[in-house]
Amino acid sequence: MSENLSEVLFSEKFNVQETSTLIANSGSKKNKKLYNSTMDGEEKVGWYRLLKLLQWAWQGLDIIDCYEVLAKISASTNKRSDPDLLDTVVGFRSGNWSYEWSKKAMKFQKQANELVQYGQKEQAKNAYYLASQYYSVASYPHLKGDESSIQAQTLAFSNYRKAFEQDENALLKEIDVPFKGKTVRCYLHLPHDETIHPVVIVSGGIDTLQCDLLPLFEKQLKPAGIAMLTVDMPGVGFSNHIKLEQDTSNLHQAVLHHMDNVPWVDQSRVALMGMRMGGNALNRLAYVEPKRVRSVVSVGAAVGSVFDSFDNFSKLPPMTLDCLASRMQMSHSDVASLYQLCVPFSLIKQGLLGRKRINTPMLSIGHSQDIMCNEQDLKLIARASYGSESKIIDKPPIFDSYLRSLEYSAQWLTKHLQE
């Protein structure tokens, strides 16, 4: 996408609906006890969105730049849809979340375009990648019907592809998977060689775009010679038109079957990796397709306790409830009503986890006190087959332990894909 088009898309607008008002929430937007999660980010007083600073740093963003953007949002005197929430500035203008993050993204996009003209491929690749990540944050939490978010997503994916056009060590292939009469675009990340590679199908949570997952490939999978196919969860990104349903793995099952038509990967060596609801979908897929999957890694997978206990579910922050409602194509996120519709997501209630054993080895990674995936969930996943195990993170600093666990998961996947 050209720089001029970016500027047209991101001219100031005053009549766009503010993100936090897209989903009606009959409860208070202010939790009494603030939610804090290694994976989901931190709920701060005065903010609608969870602030994912450690996650954004993992994606490559400069924390100082992030604080600079947050400061501009905080300091804005423009009208807010909720005067008590800083990131609710109405209109696409100064102080608005999407506007401020997009301005930062456009700076890197312009820098990348200039570097290309001078033939500086490596620097251009890095600048395009950073532009994609800032545009992704501008889109966050990617709610359906959010006009500014959709525009930012378009530019996030465009800059992501451009980064790979400058990359001499990796390839990006766009794989369009037929699903329910339409297609869903997935990104296949490949080491830059002529080898047919084993592949890991990866999905993040319901507030993640597939372009947010590159460090997993760059730091863990590519050095091991493993390809990565990313898939947006139903209701997000390229899967925006799909409804999240009790059969959370139906899209991923279609992707798994489509691998038979993809020439760059070894269809007999496929593994799965999912975070949060992505972990739910891919754990479920292992039960549905045990003969097609070599192994599964789930990180903080929302598979049981959060859906089996109203007390746990009611502790989720308003933004997360809104994300769930949006993915399920609902217009409200009243916690009591939403909970009843989310109970069927429990793999325990579905009669899978804890009741059936399969041959597919599963690795579960998570924090013992995590509301979305507690120690009981982690141990249930580890009992899914004789080759499964759990890795419980309980030693501070938690995020460093989490990163070390990702390294371990790559070693674990490599071992099972090479057997």
Q: What is the pLDDT of residues 103-126, one digit of tens each?
A: 999 999 999 999 999 999 999 999
- CA separation for the pair 17, 290 (Å, rounded): 44
* CA-wise closest residue to 168 among 190, 195, 198: 190
pLDDT at 13: 67
pLDDT at 32: 62
3-class DSSP assignment, residue 114: helix
Average pLDDT, stretch 229-236?
Answer: 98
Average pLDDT, stretch 239-249?
Answer: 96
Identity at 381, one-letter amino acid code? I
Q: What is the DSSP letter of 224?
A: G
Structure tokens at 279: 């972990």
pLDDT at 242 over 70: yes
Lowest mean pLDDT: which of 27-41, 255-269, 362-376?
27-41
- The pairing of strands 227-230 and 197-203 is parallel
pLDDT at 418: 83
* CA-wise closest residue to 212 among 326, 94, 129: 129
Strand residues in 205-330 grouped as ranges (E): 227-230, 265-275, 296-299
Tally the C-alpha atoms within 13 A of residue 194's C-alpha that lie toward its C-beta: 0
Over residues 144-166, the pLDDT tens digits come to: 999 999 999 999 999 999 999 99
Average pLDDT, stretch 323-350?
Answer: 96
Average pLDDT, whole number, for the chain? 92
pLDDT at 1 over 50: no
In this prediction the pTM is: 0.95
- What is the C-alpha R_g of the chain? 20
3-class DSSP assignment, residue 279: helix
pLDDT at 355: 84
* CA-wise closest residue to 290 among 215, 384, 200: 384
Q: Are 203 and 275 in contact (CB under 8 A)?
A: yes
- CA separation for the pair 349, 84 (Å, rounded): 39
pLDDT at 315 over 80: yes
Tokens 């099952």 found at = 253
Alpha helices, DSSP H, located in 3-146: 3-9, 53-58, 63-75, 97-117, 121-139
pLDDT at 253 over 60: yes
